[in-house]
Amino acid sequence: MAVFRGTDRIRKILVASRQTFRFIRFKKAQALPVSNKQTQPIPTNFYRKYRKPIAYALCGLVAATVIGILGRQYVQAHSVDYYSVTINGETAGNISAKEKVEELLAAKAEELENAETTVHLVLNDNQVTYSAERAYKKKVDDEETLVRLEGMLQTHAVGVKLIVNGEEVGIVRDEMAAKKLLQRVKNKYVPARLVAKKAATEVRSLSLTAGASDAATAEAKPQRIVTSVEFAEKVEMVDSQIDAAQLSDPDELFAKLTEGEPIPRTYTVQKGDCIGCIAAKMDVTEELIHQNNTWIKGDRITVGDVLDLSESEPPILNVNSEEEVTEIEEIEPPIEYEKSDSMKLGQQKVLQEGTPGKQQVTYRLLKRNGSLIEEEQVSVNVLEAPIATRILRGTKVIRGEGSGKFSWPVVGARITSYQGQRWGRMHKGIDIIGKSNILAADEGVVEFAGYKSGGLGNSVTINHQNGFKTVYGHMKSVKVKKGQIVEKGDIIGVMGSTGHSTGTHLHFEVYLNSNLKNPTSYLK
């Protein structure tokens, strides 16, 4: 194509040369002086004589011009455009297109990004410059230049610094490793599977019409949804150029973030100590004592035992979580009382056993590192109302009827002789000394008041109208009469030594349904 274009140009040059030659001849003719005399024409034989040399000269001129143009066209057609590439001021070679260098840099950066190495390497901010060049038949070896350029690329290590409340706590490989570590801290206290998604934050109420298996499952497994998981501290991730030796071990950094520094502390058990006493004295929990001292069986400790009461400082990173727990709870049946004036006071009868109800209760729980710090009831939905228990209560009051619970018949009582065999015969009651006034052990009706032969002397017998009878003997004087109703604690006589007695005291007997009982089993 270049040759054909050159031929056309030669033709145009020849035409232009002829026109130029004619113009020169015309100008020369005009430049000749004009005289009054008739101009002498140039002899015809002059042109004939020099016509060939002039033609040869013109042809040579045209040929030289054509050759110059064709040569320049050839050189241009066989010249190569390329770029001289330098990196950081050092020549790397020649390249046919800038894009090939850019592709190499991008591929190298991607390779480093995806490399599964302990240390994350990235390319330096290499200063790559290009100089446009053009040369005749220049051979440009792109592959050789790219290989040399790749060998000249420099890298450096980078990492992500974890900053907690403004203080650096460690360095990890990259942002992905940092996020993975922080999620691991959260998962220690809140399993990721429990964290609610927006589409699943609502908890459906359980219907009574649901299948029995569904209801049983709901009761056995409360629905728990974690609505929020946040760090209590401000956590930042900062990209930084690092030394590879600065990288933290992920497991060690995890322990550093979640486990506070231990505070050693011991306690030596002293006389009179107990687990609860030590916990209160040392301001620790009983759980901590048992946790640190697994050798303790039950609550048994002895004087001289050394207890480990070591605690840990709060961790560097704390996790606050908010949960909603919905569960089915049993509603205790209420009790409804009905009165009956035909039933004695204190007696009651169940007319109808109650049935527990069911309710769905939702609680909002606030936790710190998995430990509950606040609980709030959010909603209550009664699923099944309870059926009340109905109880009939007696209101009938019978004067003189005791409660069946005896108080001591003497203030400041002290037993001097117990029930049992004494001096070869049965001692039916107990002998008591104390203040001089004799008191009714319970409410009742005086069945006997006076002197009784056979050894009791001045005595009183009270029928408590409930199967119990009490006998009071050896009194100095009697203060009640037969048929009189007495209340518990009323004075019925004065302590003495009448009848068969060896000294001032009260002889006290108890009978139930006419059977002799040991008074010490009933006195309160």
Cα–Cα distance for residue pair 336/352, rounded to 1 Å = 10
Q: Is the C-alpha dihedral spanning 444, 446, 448, 449 positive or negative?
A: positive
Report the C-alpha gap between 256 and 317 in whole angstroms.
9
Residues near 384 by Cβ (< 8 Å), separated by ≥ 6? 208, 331, 357, 358, 359
Q: Report pTM.
A: 0.52
The helix, strand and coil proportions of the chain, stated in percent and rounded to the nearest 5, come to 30, 40, 35
Contact indicator for 6, 70 with CB cutoff of 8 Å: yes
Report the chain's C-alpha Rg in angstroms: 60
| DSSP structure class, residue 1 | -
- The number of residues in the chain equals 524
The region that residue 499 occupies, defined by phi over 0 for left and psi between -120 and 50 for alpha, beta otherwise, is: left
Task: Find where tokens 């302590």 sit.
Answer: 495
Task: For Cα atoms 395, 471, 495, give the angle at the middle one, nearest 5 degrees.
Answer: 115
Q: 193 — phi, psi (to 5°)?
A: -65, -15
Sequential DSSP letters for 104-172: HHHHHHHHHHH---SSEEEE----EEEEEEEEET----HHHHHHHHHHH--EEEEEEEEEETTEEEEEE
CA distances from 510 to 404, 442, 461 (A): 11, 11, 10
How would DSSP label each residue in 268-288? E--TT--HHHHHHHHT--HHH
Measured at the alpha carbon of residue 359, what is the angle toward residues 357 and 361, in degrees to the nearest 5? Answer: 155
Residues 429, 418: Cα–Cα separation, whole Å:
7
Q: Residues near 164 by Cβ (< 8 Å), separated by ≥ 6?
A: 233, 234, 235, 236, 257, 316, 317
Assign 488 to helix, strand or coil.
coil
Question: Quick check: helix, strand or coil at residue 383?
Answer: strand
C-alpha to C-alpha distance for 147 and 326, rounded to whole angstroms:
66
Q: One digit per residue, pLDDT tens: the chain, 524 residues?
A: 444 444 555 555 555 555 555 655 555 555 545 444 444 555 556 556 666 676 666 776 766 676 666 656 655 555 668 888 888 778 888 888 888 888 888 888 887 778 777 788 877 776 788 888 776 666 777 888 888 887 788 788 888 999 999 999 999 988 999 999 999 999 999 887 777 654 344 444 444 334 444 544 445 578 889 999 999 999 999 998 888 888 989 999 999 999 888 889 999 999 989 998 999 999 999 989 999 999 998 888 999 999 999 988 889 999 999 999 999 999 999 999 999 988 877 789 999 999 999 999 999 999 999 989 999 999 999 999 999 999 999 887 778 888 889 999 999 999 998 998 877 788 899 999 999 999 999 999 999 999 998 789 999 999 999 999 999 999 999 999 999 999 999 999 999 999 988 899 999 999 999 999 999 999 97
Structure tokens at 185: 């801290």
Parallel/antiparallel/unpaired status of strands 262-263 and 155-164: unpaired
Q: How far apart are CA 24 and CA 12, in angstroms?
A: 18
User: What is the structure's pLDDT at 132?
Assistant: 82
Inter-residue contact 360 to 324 (CB < 8 Å)? no
What is the reported pLDDT for 332?
Answer: 95
Residue whose C-alpha is closest to residue 404's, from 492, 480, 513: 513
Contact 120, 174 (CB under 8 A): yes
Q: How far apart are CA 245 and CA 248, in angstroms?
A: 8
Q: Which residues contact 3 (CB under 8 A, 6 or more apart)?
A: none
Cα separation, 450 vs 472, whole angstroms: 11
CB atoms within 10 A of CB 160: 23
Question: Alpha-carbon distance 219 to 71, whole Å?
Answer: 99
What residue type is 299 in one-letter code?
D
pLDDT of residue 495: 96
* Location of structure tokens 């486990």: 259
Q: Which of 100, 66, 70 is nearest to 85 (CA)?
A: 100
Report the amino acid identity of residue 7: T
Which amino acid is present at 392?
A: L
Nearest to 462 by CA among 437, 432, 435, 490: 490
Beta bridge partners of 329: 359
Angle at which helix 175-189 crosses helix 250-258, to 10 degrees, equals 40
- Beta strands across the sheet bearing 319-331: 223-231, 319-331, 357-368, 371-384
Q: Phi and psi for 269 in degrees, rounded to 5?
A: -65, 135
Question: Which residues make Cβ contacts (< 8 Å) with residue 347, sequence separation at least 6?
Answer: 393, 394
Q: Provide the pairing of β-strand 335-344 with 457-463.
A: unpaired
